Structures are given as structure tokens and as C-alpha cells.
């Protein structure tokens, strides 16, 4: 009704005008009547009736709607359940009701955002815990080798995975990268590491391990998720190093006698992409001598960008290895490559996880190398 679109002040003025008009009309009618004295009681009843009508109208139009709004506001302030106020009024009461609805709508949205954020934080905490549990606490001690591994996740939860598993006369050194981040990636990492640990005891080669792991992973992950990996196998008795690639990055081999760094494409197909990868991956030997280096890494290193948007790239990584390998042990090479990458990428947000494993062949080591920093934390 049009009356409800008038401001409260105007409504009061209109009401007073109507009451005054009616009263004036009655007084004018009775002013010429001889029965004025005998009808005084009727004036009292008339005035009371007008007062009652005024009070009822005020209650219905002003007091009750305000009471409804105040009741919901009190519930909101007290943290109790509240309801949306439905009205088509556009006066001050309508404005108050609209304001209340908008505020509570904002609270609901914020509350929903807070709950989503809390859920995400909980998931990240779970995923982060899973990742910490499956990554090794320190670099391993392996007879005949210096091995240093470092990791720098891009966020609370990374997608990189690496570990070292010794079974019988072989030590398996593997590094991988799961698509995506978060709980799903952490679960796949956990699954893969657990499966590798199980199959390392029953399989005789890295090839058999990755064929078996792929078969199980493919059954339990979504189509869009997969894991690239390269697995090195060090046979301590035969003093032979082999590798199996599953769609991962290059393997770098630095030859100390020539100063040449070879970049071997790991080849193969990522784990989880096909049900059977037995004909798509193969195990090959790496030719190296005492003092030579082997480096495996995740793409977070080669795809690191500087402030100008340039990639660090494979060639820079090779040149860094050529520069530092003649001067340092595996620990020193790992540290200085990490420093080189960090210096290059300074001023640009880290987009992806960085993992780096540096291995040096050292025949003099029968119990593995003692190094100053065995932790896997990237210190650069």
C-alpha cells in the first residue's frame, strides 16, 4: 500500500492531522447544539476512542515491526539463531529490516568462508603431516656413495617425493613428482612410497618395482592424476648403477676425467597413466667411474623463474654442476647448486617444489659419507 511507502514522520503527521480533523469536525457539529452540556460524556468516550485508535494504529505500524527487528538483532548479538525479516516497506523500518538482512547475509557468507578456510587448513595440516612422514629425515649413508638430498616445497604441501630404500644388496634411490598439491597428492605420495617399500623386498629390480607399483596405483587414483618418477638402483656387490624412468626429468652425469656433463632423458611413461607400463619402461645402466657425479631433480628447479620471467633451465643446471663438481663433495655441490638456483630466482615467487639429489661415487667409503648437514631441508 502507498501509505507504507511514506516515512514514519509523515505517517505520524498524517495520523495527527486525521485525528485533529475528526475532532474539529465533531466539535464544530456540537458547538451549535443545545445538547452540548448533556453530551459531555460522549466527548470523553469519543476522545478515548480516538486515543485507542491512535495507539492501535501506532502499535501495528510502528511498535510491532520495530519489536520484530529488535528481537532478531538481540538474537544476533547474543549468538542465538535469527531469522530473515520479510517486508516490502521502504520507510525507516523497511531500511532497518533491509540493513539487518544484508548484515546477516554477510555474516553467513563470512561464516561459510571461515568454515571453508578452517577445513582447508585442516586438510593442509593432514597433508603436510603425511608428507613429512613419508619423506626421509636425513640423507642416507650408502657404501661407496656420497648421497645428499634436499627439498624446498613451494607451499605447505608439496608434490615432490623422494626416498632411499635398501633391500638385500641393492639400494633404490627414487625421486618423483605428483600432479597437483594438497591431500590427494600427499595420499598418492604415501601410497607410492609404501608400495615401493613393499615391492622392494619381493622384486629383484627397479624395473619390476615400478611395473608393480604402477599396476596398483592405476586402480586407485583418478584419471587426471599421475606421478612422474626416476628410480636409481645401486648394486653394492656388482658396483653397478642402473635407472628406470617413468616420464621424469633428465639424469645428469658428470665425468670427472673429461669434465663433461651428460643429460640422459629418463624416458618411460608416468605412473598411473596406463594400466600396464611393462613395455613402456626399461632399466638401463649408467656408466660412471670413481669421482663422477649423478644428479636427479624435480622440475621445480629447471622451471624456476627470475624477476624477468626467464627459466633457470637445464643448461644452467648442467653448467652449475660442471662448475662445482671439480671443487666439492656431494654435499658441497648440492649446497652450491641450491644457492645458484635461489640467487637466480630471487624476486620471483616460487611456483613449484624443488628437490635435488646429488650422488658422488667414492670407492673409499665403505660405510657411507659423514657430512655436516644430513637434513633434507633446502638451506639456500
For residues 270-278, give the mean pLDDT.
Answer: 93
Residue-wise pLDDT tens digits, 91-145: 667 777 777 777 777 665 655 555 665 665 565 556 555 666 666 767 888 989 9
CA gap 144, 149 in Å, rounded = 16
Q: Which H or E run includes 296?
A: strand 293-297
CA distances to 145, 148, 257, 330, 345 from 360, in Å: 6, 9, 14, 6, 26
Coil vs helix vs strand at 173: strand
Report whether pLDDT(380) > 90.
no
With beta carbons less than 8 A apart as the criterion, state whether 270 and 264 touch: no
CA distances to 71, 293, 322, 337, 356 from 290, in Å: 83, 9, 16, 21, 21
Contacts of 73 (CB under 8 A, 6+ apart): 100
Q: Which H or E run includes 322?
A: helix 313-324
Q: Is the pTM of this model over 0.75?
A: no
Q: Which H or E run includes 240?
A: strand 240-246
CA gap 25, 365 in Å, rounded = 118
**All domains in the chain, ordered by first residue:** 2-109 (no CATH), 138-361 (3.60.40.10)
Report whether pLDDT(20) > 90.
no
Looking at residue 180, what is its pLDDT?
A: 66
Residue count (the chain): 380
CA distances to 245, 296, 299 from 314, in Å: 17, 12, 9
Residue-wise pLDDT tens digits, 152-191: 877 655 568 899 999 888 999 999 988 766 667 777 777 8
Contacts of 246 (CB under 8 A, 6+ apart): 176, 210, 214, 227, 228, 229, 230, 231, 266, 268, 269, 270, 271, 277, 281
Neighbours of 81 (CB within 10 A): 8
Report whether pLDDT(318) > 70.
yes
Amino acid at each position: 500500500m502507498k501509505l507504507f511507502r511514506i516515512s514514519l514522520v509523515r505517517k505520524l503527521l498524517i495520523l495527527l492531522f486525521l485525528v485533529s480533523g475528526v475532532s474539529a469536525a465533531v466539535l464544530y457539529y456540537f458547538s451549535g447544539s443545545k445538547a452540548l452540556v448533556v453530551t459531555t460524556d460522549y466527548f470523553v468516550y469519543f476522545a478515548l476512542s480516538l486515543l485507542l485508535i491512535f495507539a492501535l494504529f501506532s502499535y501495528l505500524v510502528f511498535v510491532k515491526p520495530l519489536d520484530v527487528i529488535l528481537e532478531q538483532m538481540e538474537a544476533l548479538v547474543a549468538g542465538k539463531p535469527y531469522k530473515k525479516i520479510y517486508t516490502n516497506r521502504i520507510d525507516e523500518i523497511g531500511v532497518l529490516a533491509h540493513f539487518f538482512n544484508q548484515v546477516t547475509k554477510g555474516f553467513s557468507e563470512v561464516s561459510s568462508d571461515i568454515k571453508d578456510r578452517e577445513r582447508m587448513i585442516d586438510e593442509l595440516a593432514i597433508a603436510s603431516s603425511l608428507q613429512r612422514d613419508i619423506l626421509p629425515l636425513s640423507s642416507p649413508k650408502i657404501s661407496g656413495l656420497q648421497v645428499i638430498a634436499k627439498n624446498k616445497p613451494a607451499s605447505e604441501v608439496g608434490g615432490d617425493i623422494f626416498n632411499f630404500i635398501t633391500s638385500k644388496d641393492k639400494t633404490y634411490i627414487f625421486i618423483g613428482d605428483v600432479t597437483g598439491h594438497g591431500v590427494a597428492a600427499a595420499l598418492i605420495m604415501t601410497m607410492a612410497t609404501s608400495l615401493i617399500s613393499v615391492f622392494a623386498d619381493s622384486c629383484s629390480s627397479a624395473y619390476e618395482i615400478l611395473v608393480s607399483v604402477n599396476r596398483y596405483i592405476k586402480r586407485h587414483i583418478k584419471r587426471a592424476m599421475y606421478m612422474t618418477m626416476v628410480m636409481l638402483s645401486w648394486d653394492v656387490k656388482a658396483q653397478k648403477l642402473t635407472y628406470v624412468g617413468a616420464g621424469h626429468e633428465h639424469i645428469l652425469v658428470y665425468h670427472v676425467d673429461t669434465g663433461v656433463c651428460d643429460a640422459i632423458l629418463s624416458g618411460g611413461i608416468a605412473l598411473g597413466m596406463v594400466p600396464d607400463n611393462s613395455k613402456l619402461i626399461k632399466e638401463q645402466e649408467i656408466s660412471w667411474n670413481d669421482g663422477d657425479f649423478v644428479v636427479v631433480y624435480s622440475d621445480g628447479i629447471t622451471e624456476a623463474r627470475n624477476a624477468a620471467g626467464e627459466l633457470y633451465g637445464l643448461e644452467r643446471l648442467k653448467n652449475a654442476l660442471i662448475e662445482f663438481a671439480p671443487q666439492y663433495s656431494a654435499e658441497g655441490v648440492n649446497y652450491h647448486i641450491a644457492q645458484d638456483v635461489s640467487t637466480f630466482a630471487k624476486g620471483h615467487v616460487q611456483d613449484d617444489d624443488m628437490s635435488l639429489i646429488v650422488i658422488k661415487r667414492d670407492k673409499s667409503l665403505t660405510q657411507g659419507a659423514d657430512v655436516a648437514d644430513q637434513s633434507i631441508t633446502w638451506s639456500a
